Copies of this chain bind each other. A is one copy, B any other.
Amino acid sequence: MYKIKIITVGKTKEAWLDEAMAEFLKRLKPTAEIEFHLAKDNAQLEAWVKKEPGVICLDPKGKLMDSEEFSKFLLECLQKGGSRLTFVIGGPEGLPESLKKSPLVSFSPMTFTHQMARLILIEQIYRAFEIAKGTRYHK
């Protein structure tokens, strides 16, 4: 069982986001335990991230990957990290400077709300495991 933490800044305001996340968390349940941590600001985000051993940050200026590359990358990171990994999504002010030295992954050069970024991340994590398992989800 993989353990993945997702640390982000800000609250969930939208009911639809909670429903969408619940759907993907349910599908991920046999494979990975996903924990969400919502920091109130960048200072708290930095303090939390310092304690994490393996961290990947999402940033529009990070490395662009297709879903197959992200699948390989995710599995490699989990292997190196003893099945544990932490993703960080910056808030409205972007990522704190201190975190820009971590591996940066980009889903898109476009800017998304952090709510949308969370949903995209969780869908791509699910897709990544399905690609690795060779199921038909990603076709």
Instruction: List residues of A whose CB falls within 8 A of some B CB.
Output: 14-17, 19-20, 23, 60, 64-67, 70, 92, 107-113, 116, 119-120, 123-124, 127, 138-139
Contact = CB atoms under 8 A, between A and B. Distances in A.
Copies in the complex: 2
B139 A110 contact: no
Contacts of A109: 64-66
A24 to B, nearest CB: 10
A92 B67 CA distance: 15
Contacts of A92: 139
A110 B66 contact: yes
Indicate the member of A23, A107, A138 with the most B CB atoms within 10 Å. A107
Contacts of A139: 92
Contacts of A119: 116, 119
B66 A60 contact: yes
Given A16-B23, A110-B124, 8 more contacts: A16-B17, A16-B20, A20-B20, A65-B109, A67-B110, A70-B110, A108-B108, A119-B119
Nearest to A61: B66
